[in-house]
Amino acid sequence: MTKVLLIDDDVDLTMLLQEYLTEDGFQVTATEDGRTAIAQAAANAVDIIVLDIMMPRMNGIDVLQRIRRLSPVPVLMLTAKGDDVDRIAGLNLGADDYVSKPCSPGELAARLRAILRRSGASGAGTVQDGLRAGELVMHPGTRVAEWRGQPLELTGTEFSLLEVLARHAGQLVSKQDISKHVFGRPLMAFDRRIDVHVSSVRQKLGMREDGQSWIQSVRGHGYQLLQDR
């Protein structure tokens, strides 16, 4: 049973989400203390964390930042509707996705399952042959990646995004196709989560010898992973 840690100080919403997710087959622990999330992540005690941004004492951004120093556990952020600043900050710090409040329990459950599928945390999948694109080697079955012979630390979402680009190395992949493969849904207008995740992956890959990024963008169309020169 998938272990979910829900951190939110909205008691009524928390009770509603906890009841729905439990009935939907998740094992849910709820708290309003961000320090609990940090401790649980450090102990590898949960499979996924649902983290509200607006909390007393320690806000969700600070909690996420500390979690990412300790663990790659998938994190779904709960954000205020229309608050792009918090959304982008969360994605930049390694959140896998976000849901705007108020949200329906059904939507939250669907997002959790999508994150777990692409992170490999659901326990499904077997070891597969590696996918190679130049000096990048990816193992989709184990969700392990290597770059230039060294381990490449990626979140579940970053792995899925880079995998799509690696399978089409040297070719342009549209944002719409990336959204469908990575997030399991069509790209919505003004949705910047792909751009933010690409920016994070670019930093982890570093620059080419010619000074270009390994991931090139075509404004308004999509991205491509460059092949070796």
- The CA distances from residue 19 to 53, 77, 127, in Å, are 21, 19, 35
For residues 176 and 113, membership in a common domain is answered with no
Give me the pLDDT at residue 87, please: 80
Tens of pLDDT, residues 14-39: 888 999 999 888 999 998 888 888 99
Q: pLDDT by residue (tens digit) across 91-132?
A: 888 888 888 887 888 888 888 988 887 776 443 333 345 788
3-state secondary structure of 162: helix
Rounded to whole angstroms, the Cα distance separating 51 from 27 reads 16
How many domains are there within the chain? 2
Name the more confident of 44 and 22. 22
Q: What is the CA radius of gyration of the chain?
A: 18
Sign of CA dihedral 48, 75, 168, 176: positive
Q: pTM for the full model?
A: 0.64
Pick from 76, 94, 119: which residue ends a domain?
119
Residue 206 has pLDDT above 90, yes or no: yes
Return the CATH number at 178. Answer: 1.10.10.10
Looking at the fold, whether 138 and 112 belong to one and the same domain comes out as no
Q: What is the pLDDT of residues 47-62, one digit of tens each?
A: 999 999 888 778 889 9
Domain of 185 in residue numbering reads as: 131-225
